[in-house]
Structure 1
Amino acid sequence: MLKITIGTQNKAKVEAIQKGFQEHYENIRFECLKTESNVSEQPFSDQETIEGALNRAKNVLRMTEADIGIGLEGGVTETLYGMFLCNWGGLVDRKGNEIIAGGARISLPAEIGRGLRQGRELGPLMDEYTHRTGIRQSEGAVGIFTDGVVTRDAMFHHVVQLLIGQLKYREKQNG
Structure 2
Amino acid sequence: MKIIIGSLNPTKVGAVKKVFNQYKVEGLNVPSNVSNQPLTDQETMQGAINRAYNARIAGESEIGIGLEGGVIIENDRLFLCNWGALVYENEVILASGAKILLPSEFINELRNGTELSVLMEQYTNEKDIRSKEGAVGVFTNGRITRTEIFEHICELLFGQYEFKKRKEENN
TM range (shorter): over 0.9
Cα deviation, residue 114, structure 1:
2.9
- Partner-residue secondary structure (3-state), 2:106: helix
- Partner-residue secondary structure (3-state), 2:20: helix
CA RMSD of aligned residues (A): 1.0
Give the structure 2 partner of residue 52 of structure 1: 47
In structure 1, what is the Cα distance between the partners aligned to 2:30 and 2:72? Answer: 23
Alignment of 1:71-110 (within 5 A): 71-80=66-75, 82-93=77-88, 95-110=89-104
In structure 1, what is the Cα distance between the partners aligned to 2:13 and 2:95? Answer: 16
Cα deviation, residue 117, structure 1:
2.3
Give the structure 2 partner of residue 117 of structure 1: 111
In structure 2, what is the Cα distance between the partners aligned to 1:122 and 1:158? Answer: 21
Cα deviation, residue 118, structure 1:
2.5
Deviates more, 1:59-68 or 1:143-152: 59-68
Cα deviation, residue 6, structure 1:
0.8
In structure 1, what is the Cα distance between the partners aligned to 2:138 and 2:147? Answer: 13
Identity of aligned residues (%): 48
In structure 2, what is the Cα distance between the partners aligned to 1:54 and 1:117? Answer: 23
Give the structure 2 partner of residue 144 of structure 1: 138
Give the structure 1 partner of residue 166 of structure 2: 172
Contact 2:3 2:25 in 1 (8 A): yes
TM-score scaled by structure 1?
A: 0.94
Write out per-residue CA displacement over residues 54-92 of structure 1, whole angstroms, 9 at most, x where no aligned residue. 000101111122110000000001122601000000110
In structure 1, what is the Cα distance between the partners aligned to 2:76 and 2:97? Answer: 18
Q: Which segments of structure 1 move beyond 6 Å, counting only runs of 4 or more?
A: none
Cα deviation, residue 97, structure 1:
0.6
Cα deviation, residue 173, structure 1:
0.4
Cα deviation, residue 112, structure 1:
2.0
TM-score scaled by structure 2?
A: 0.96
Write out per-residue CA displacement over residues 123-153 of structure 1, whole angstroms, 9 at most, x where no aligned residue. 0110110001010000000000000000000
- Partner-residue secondary structure (3-state), 2:18: helix
Contact 2:52 2:66 in 1 (8 A): yes
- Partner-residue secondary structure (3-state), 1:174: helix
In structure 1, what is the Cα distance between the partners aligned to 2:70 and 2:24? Answer: 28
- Partner-residue secondary structure (3-state), 1:57: helix
Can you give the 5+ residue segments of structure 2 that lack an aligned partner in the other structure? none
Q: 2:148 aligns with which of 154, 157, 165?
A: 154
Can you give the 5+ residue segments of structure 1 that lack an aligned partner in the other structure? none
Q: How many residues of Structure 1 are paired with residues of Structure 2 in the alignment? A: 169
- Partner-residue secondary structure (3-state), 2:154: helix
Look up the equivalent residue of 2:116 and give its one-letter code: L
In structure 2, what is the Cα distance between the partners aligned to 1:131 and 1:71? Answer: 29
